[in-house]
Structure 1
Amino acid sequence: MQFIHTLQDWWQHQNLLEVIGVITGLLCVYLAAKNNIWNWPFAIISVVIYIFIFFEARLFADMGLQFYFLAMNIYGWHYWSKKPVTEKKVPVARIIKKEIILSAIAIVVFTFILGSLLKYTTASYPYLDSFCTACSLVAQVFLARKVLENWLIWIFVDIIYVGIYIFKDLHLTAVMYAIYVGIALMGYVDWRKDWKLEARNKNQETRN
């Protein structure tokens, strides 16, 4: 009984805006993992909400990241809708060596520049927040372009975010990102299966 009262008290102190952001955020990631194009409208709703949430939490790098996500979600929606005539969905791609090198350089440079700027503000964890932001920038590009390895980046950065949001008392958001880890793992497994199936079909077409 005490547990139920504690849970009710905790729920009453939750921010309604954060609850909506969590629900739409979970829906968009789940649908993306399932290779469903309808993940993008839910993603757009979620990032708009989190612009306000992160501003209040003084996570300015994360707030700025939402504006980027908004643009990339619109781009991803457009890109996923441009499937080949012979395909039901846009095919899953694999990361190449050049993309790995460029991504690593971009993450290091972005983290240093943004972290150096944010440390002179009231921002929380300027370099760690900037590093997560940089990783998220790269992962979102790969998600929009349907590159399989985007899920591995998300798993890594979401684990870090769980700790950050716990320390910032954004408990619902921390729970959401913990669930993101599981969904990202599911997304990687499902997309890898799709990629293998697509590769097998292409090989059969080539032989024929």
Structure 2
Amino acid sequence: MHDFFTSLYQQFLSTTFAEWVATVSGFLCVFLAARRHILNWPISIISVSVYAFIFLDSKLYGDALLQLYFVATAIYGWYYWNKTDETSQHKPVVSFRSGQQLLVLIAVGLLTLLMGTALDKFTDSDVPYIDGFCTAMSFVAQFLMARRVLQSWLLWVIVDICYIPLYLHKDLVLTAILYVAFTIIAWNGYRDWRHAYLNKTR
């Protein structure tokens, strides 16, 4: 156990400046998103742009590609959240309609198979299907969050937990610690958005 924490401490000390920038901005963006604050989107663009280079260097190609998608959805989310309805200062939180849960499961399954197979055949990734699954879940969760869908946070809880051992495996210790925090924030984000949704439907 002592050796584990010693190794963890040494890896923490060797964290690059780029990972610090990506981590701090990433934490801030998720913190703001959980509170439905629109500034989460421009800060997200900074974080994911830096992480794209970090993940390429770590041979997490699915995650690197995901960051480009995050830039696009951040721009879309920034625009969509900026549109207000007639009765609220913010775009309201919505929930899944009947049958949409099944569509999400199918989308995650197909994207995982597609991403995992592509990473396995065309890259030197040593974790193609794990990377593919996390990437697929993140694709779907990010789109749902941009649309202010309540259940997006539950997907983030699952994917954040999955990312922790993956980033430890890649010696991205600070990022792994960040994803522990992300898991907690995602759960709190779900509770906050659920409260807002229930207040809207009363």
Distance 2:143 2:111 in 1: 15
How many residue pairs align between the two structures? Answer: 196
Deviation, 1:97, is 3.0
**Residue aligning to 2:178:** 176
**Residue aligning to 2:35:** 34
Kindly name which structure, 1 or 2, has the bigger radius of gyration based on alpha carbons: 1
Deviation, 1:98, is 3.0
Q: Which runs of 4+ in 1 moved over 6 A?
A: 5-8
Deviation, 1:117, is 1.6
In the alignment, structure 1 segments of 5+ residues that lack a partner are 201-208
Query: Normalization by structure 2: what TM-score?
Result: 0.92
Spell out, residue by residue over 1:69-112, the C-alpha distance to the aligned partner (whole angstroms, 9 max, x if none). Answer: 11000000000000113211111000123321221111111111
Between the two proteins, what is the percent identity of the paired residues?
A: 42
Distance 2:9 2:197 in 1: 45
Distance 2:9 2:137 in 1: 36
In the alignment, structure 2 segments of 5+ residues that lack a partner are 1-5
Pick one of 142, 161, 164 that aligns with 2:163: 161
Q: CA contact under 8 A between 2:93 and 2:150: conserved in structure 1?
A: yes
Q: CA RMSD in A?
A: 1.7
Aligned partner letter, 1:99:
Q
**Residue aligning to 1:62:** 63
Deviation, 1:12, is 4.0
Aligned partner letter, 2:80:
Y
Spell out, residue by residue over 1:19-42, the C-alpha distance to the aligned partner (whole angstroms, 9 max, x if none). Answer: 000000000000000111111111
Query: Normalization by structure 1: what TM-score?
Result: 0.90
Aligned partner letter, 1:43:
S
Find the residue that maps to 2:15 and give its secondary structure. Answer: coil
Aligned partner letter, 1:151:
W
Find the residue that maps to 2:193 and give its secondary structure. Answer: helix
With over 3 angstroms needed to count, the CA separation of the structure-2 counterparts of 1:10 and 1:167, relative to structure 1, is: closer
